Amino acid sequence: MYIDNTISTSKYNIITFLPFNLMLQLSKSANIYFCLMLVLEYIPQLGYGIPDLIMPISFVIGVSMIKDIYEDVSRHK
């Protein structure tokens, strides 16, 4: 059994980035609000059929993920 005793300052690895970062993004109250509004847009009685919030929320979360990847790679170096 091999035990790796190296010290790593990075927050994520390749496997844990997506679940941990999505959990981090959805812990912000603004992202929770917009994701809830996005889910409500898909209910025919509440929305008007066209989900308008999918592009803005995916853009905000995507840019935040790219920023987190950049910071984590810089921290790892």
Question: What tens digit of pLDDT does each residue of 7-58 get?
Answer: 666 777 788 888 898 898 889 898 899 888 888 888 878 767 677 888 888 8
Res 53: pLDDT: 82
CB neighbours of residue 66 within 10 Å: 10
Assess whether pLDDT exceeds 90 at residue 63. yes
Q: How far apart are CA 22 and CA 65, in angstroms?
A: 8
The torsion angle over the Cα atoms of residues 50, 55, 53 and 69, rounded to 10 degrees, is 150
Q: What is the pTM of this model?
A: 0.72
What's the rounded Cα separation, in Å, for the pair 21 and 13? 11
What are the residue ranges spanned by the domains of the chain? Answer: 17-76
Q: What pLDDT, on the 0 to 100 scale, is given for residue 66?
A: 93
pLDDT the model gives residue 17: 86
Q: Based on the number of CB atoms within 10 Å of its own CB, is 51 exposed (0-12), middle (13-18) or buried (19 or more)?
A: middle
